[in-house]
């Protein structure tokens, strides 16, 4: 199967490298061609024109910024897309957008799976991404061996379901980062050592990947972007849109979304663990640690 990968950003670059390492032949395209061209030395075939990149590809994988960008790229690529081609969108979009993409491609005789991921740049580089897929079981079975080079793919339902699962993931991530920040600040303000507090509760019921990775970031005050505040805010808003469509109220998520909205006004490109900074601004004079902020 000829693979075309669209979107060579922070996540796309290491994902393509994983596919190449697994022995796949990959054509790459990006709006900024230099990013695609940088993968030539790794064995990818960079192509400057979108129509030429997708022409003849049995599998198209997109990893783009947001739903509107996916829609634009898909619309531009569709005339050159091979009959019965399978498009796997690994971007984070709204459920309704993914369902619309599926309907658009199905109407033109093509196929679609939404397969957003969790695990960040580190997971992309290590090939350990959690991949949440929505689509036809037969289509998923066809692409599962390819996705396995990137991480652990799981079919969670029909088209759009992958995005729902990703939103559930981001709901937990966004809320937990804020709760870990509150624990860090409380420990500091109440006279305990935040680092020792974190070590003491490791292995108990509060243990989590967030406490591990983002708790350490907070202690080091390392807010250089892995997952950006702006991206987390986009995800929070998508969660609330899905909740509204499903007819449910998520009060904690509403609070978390507001915290990221305020933080995005000043630190949109910082790592989402900078939720600690936003919390400290609500508590003037209180600060975790003495290290300078890295953003």
Closest CA to 177 of 213, 203, 219: 213
Closest CA to 122 of 213, 203, 249: 213
**DSSP 8-state code for residue 173:** H
State how far the Cα of 95 lies from the Cα of 167, in Å rounded to an integer: 9
Catalytic center residues: 166
State how far the Cα of 157 lies from the Cα of 161, in Å rounded to an integer: 5
**DSSP 8-state code for residue 87:** E
State how far the Cα of 275 lies from the Cα of 278, in Å rounded to an integer: 5
Question: 135 in the Ramachandran plot: left (φ > 0), alpha (ψ -120 to 50) or beta?
Answer: left
In angstroms and rounded to an integer, the radius of gyration of the C-alpha atoms of the chain is: 20
**DSSP 8-state code for residue 39:** T
């Amino acid at each position: 199967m000829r693979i075309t990968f669209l979107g060579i950003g922070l996540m796309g670059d290491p994902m393509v490298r994983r596919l190449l390492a697994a022995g796949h032949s990959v054509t790459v395209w990006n709006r900024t061609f230099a990013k695609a061209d940088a993968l030539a030395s790794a064995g990818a075939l960079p192509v400057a024109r979108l129509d030429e990149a997708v022409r003849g590809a049995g599998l198209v994988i997109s990893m783009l910024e947001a739903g509107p960008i996916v829609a634009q790229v898909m619309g531009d690529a569709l005339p050159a897309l091979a009959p019965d081609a399978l498009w796997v969108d690994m971007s984070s979009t709204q459920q309704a957008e993914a369902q619309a993409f599926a309907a658009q491609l199905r109407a033109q005789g093509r196929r679609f799976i939404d397969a957003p991921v969790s695990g960040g740049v580190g997971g992309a580089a290590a090939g350990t991404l959690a991949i949440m897929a929505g689509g036809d079981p037969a289509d998923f079975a066809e692409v599962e061996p390819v996705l396995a080079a990137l991480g652990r793919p799981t079919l969670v339902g029909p088209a759009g379901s992958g995005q729902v699962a990703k939103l559930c993931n981001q709901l937990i991530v966004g809320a937990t980062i804020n709760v870990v920040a509150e624990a860090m600040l409380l420990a500091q303000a109440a006279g305990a050592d935040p680092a020792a507090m974190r070590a003491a509760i490791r292995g108990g019921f509060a243990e989590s990947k967030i406490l591990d990775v983002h708790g350490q970031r907070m202690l080091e005050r390392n807010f250089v972007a892995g997952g950006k505040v702006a991206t987390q805010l986009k995800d929070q808003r998508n969660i609330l849109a899905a909740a509204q469509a499903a007819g449910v109220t998520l009060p904690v998520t509403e609070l978390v979304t507001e915290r990221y909205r305020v933080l995005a006004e000043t630190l949109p490109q910082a790592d989402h663990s900078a939720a600690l900074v936003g919390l400290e601004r609500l508590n003037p004079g209180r600060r975790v640690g003495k290290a300078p902020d890295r953003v």
